[in-house]
A and B are shown apart, each in its own frame.
Chain A
Amino acid sequence: MLEINNLVKHRGTHEILSGISFKARPGRVTGFLGPNGAGKSSTLRILLGLDRATSGSALINGKPFAELHNPLATVGASLDGSGAHRKRTGRAHLRWIARAAGLPNSRVEEVLEIVGLTDAAGQKVGKYSLGMGKRLGMAAALLGDPQILVLDEPVNGLDPEGIRFIRTFLRERAESGNTVLLSSHLMGELAETVDDVVIIKHGKIVADGTLEQVIGNHSSLEEAFFALTSEKAGDTV
């Protein structure tokens, strides 16, 4: 379970998040949507302890990230790009992460197999395509077999096969009782994958509910999204 409570973030004089609250529940895929600059990444960064909140809290199974003992076994995360140094090989990157979590090298090979990077594991990350980098980030997130996954734009840059793989994979994770929170701006993909939707605009939540609730009377998630986030739209659903 992920809980964001009244989260406020200021950067300089700019208010990036204005007291947002939502939950991502076990057994469900929660889609976190918003235009660029709405505060999606800032929220995920605070949740993962990368940035500090000005006020409010972001809890992972009831605790802030900094209090997790073995974070990799609780929450797997993939944010911008691969999160790897470009001169290291994909395998070497996963191996140091495995060391930090006390996992054997055999687990590295398992996750490489899951994301389909086994053949490219010996290449330097700098040679990877955007999609391969995303797969590597995903492999790192899966190393500790966590109950929670937090993914920023997981299908961005993937080919159709990759998108289908992520979609099926995330559905399976959620159906076996795990929590999945993903941000995306690809509405079509998101509608096929998520159970719950949270929409953020200018640092405020403008919609929060099941996919059906958020779509409401609109013809699709995309229609609902634009109705909610266009400048003329009201502040809340």
Chain B
Amino acid sequence: MRAFNAELSKLFSLPGIWLAYLIGAIAPAAISALESMAQKEEILAGVSTRLSEVGYIGLALGVQGVIILGVLAVSSEYLTESSESGGGQQITTSLTVVSSRFHLLLAKACAVTVTSILLSVVAIMTTISATHFVLGEYTPAFEVSKLIGAVCYWTFTALLAFGITVLTRNGIIPLAVLIINTSVVSFSFLLSKVTKLALYLPDRVGIEMFMFTSDRFLTPFTGGLVMFAWVFVLFIVAAIVFHRRDVAA
């Protein structure tokens, strides 16, 4: 519990992570508002085919906030001080304060989980407000089960970013790959044109929890389970690597 408190304290005292909170709270609302504006005429005329996506599209595309959170939670440990300052890394301090590496990693993952849940709840509130602002009484009702799916999607995405960064020890690659994948071009979507197995990739199955995709093949609950399985396996791999690795290596 102490290690968890320390990890929360780290997450809230790092300026870069406030950027993650800001993006997490604003990006989904902005995307949803733009999408609602674009769709407004069709929705008012009752001919929109994408009514079920209204609002959720922002929650699907606006996960960058939790990606930054998951990556920075780990990469900040490995940021090296300048050589004039002695070239140290925070990870040496973290490991001399908590003697069990597994506890440290678990505490960090729990802190990322809790923060992601809070951030996704904030994002849902801003997104629903933005959609209401644009569509007014034509805003479709948001189902609680789908919103819970969105919270799970955000949290699992943060944990995937977290696990990948434990392996790379550097934030740049996971940050670039994951942000491009969720916003510009979806690698799993491209791969799914080659093999149907790509539909089981975590970002793709995670979306099933709250979006109707054209080639949907899993129920929201199964989609969530598959994404959780990815998170779980990645965490185990990350924990093994983190446990065995020399800090100096």
Listed in ascending order, the chain A residues whose CB lies under 8 Å from chain B are 11, 41-42, 45, 48-52, 65-69, 71-72, 75, 77, 79-89, 92-93, 95-97, 99-102, 125-126, 128, 130, 133-134, 137, 140, 156-157
Whether A81 contacts B98 by the Cβ 8 Å rule is no
CA of A92 to CA of B14 in the docked complex: distance in angstroms? Answer: 9
Whether A87 contacts B15 by the Cβ 8 Å rule is yes
Of the candidate stretches B83-91, B126-134, B194-202, B224-232, the one touching chain A is: B83-91
Whether B76 contacts A85 by the Cβ 8 Å rule is yes
Interface string of B1-19 (1 = CB under 8 A from A): 0110111011001111000
Residues of B within 8 A of A80 (CB): 81, 86-89, 92
Q: Name A42's closest neighbour in chain B (CB-CB).
A: B248
Residues of A within 8 A of B13 (CB): 88-89, 92, 95-96
CA of A75 to CA of B246 in the docked complex: distance in angstroms? Answer: 20
Residues of A within 8 A of B88 (CB): 79-84, 133, 137
- Describe A's contact surface by its main secondary structure: mixed
User: Given A51-B248, A51-B249, 13 more contacts at CB 8 Å?
Assistant: A49-B95, A50-B95, A65-B99, A72-B97, A80-B88, A81-B85, A83-B92, A85-B76, A85-B90, A87-B15, A97-B93, A130-B84, A130-B85
Listed in ascending order, the chain B residues whose CB lies under 8 Å from chain A are 2-3, 5-7, 9-10, 13-16, 76, 79, 81-82, 84-90, 92-93, 95-101, 244, 246-249
Residues of B within 8 A of A92 (CB): 9, 13
Residues of B within 8 A of A96 (CB): 6-7, 9-10, 13
Q: Would A52 and B246 be within 8 Å (CB), given that A87-B14, A99-B2, A100-B2 are in contact?
A: yes
CA of A77 to CA of B99 in the docked complex: distance in angstroms? Answer: 13
CA of A93 to CA of B90 in the docked complex: distance in angstroms? Answer: 9
Residues of A within 8 A of B86 (CB): 80-82, 130, 133-134, 156-157
Ranked 6 nearest A-B pairs via Cβ? A81-B86, A81-B88, A100-B6, A80-B88, A83-B93, A92-B13
Minimum CB–CB distance for A142 against chain B, Å = 13
Q: How many A-B residue pairs have CB under 8 A?
A: 120
Whether A86 contacts B81 by the Cβ 8 Å rule is yes
Residues of A within 8 A of B87 (CB): 80-81
Residues of B within 8 A of A83 (CB): 88-90, 92-93
Residues of B within 8 A of A41 (CB): 248
Q: Name B100's closest neighbour in chain A (CB-CB).
A: A66
CA of A92 to CA of B10 in the docked complex: distance in angstroms? Answer: 8
Whether A101 contacts B2 by the Cβ 8 Å rule is yes
Minimum CB–CB distance for A220 against chain B, Å = 28
Interface-centre pick from A45, A51, A99, A134 (highest chain B CB count, 10 A): A99
Residues of A within 8 A of B246 (CB): 45, 50-52
Q: Name B104's closest neighbour in chain A (CB-CB).
A: A100
Q: Would A99 and B9 be within 8 Å (CB), given that A52-B246, A87-B15 are in contact?
A: yes
CA of A66 to CA of B95 in the docked complex: distance in angstroms? Answer: 10
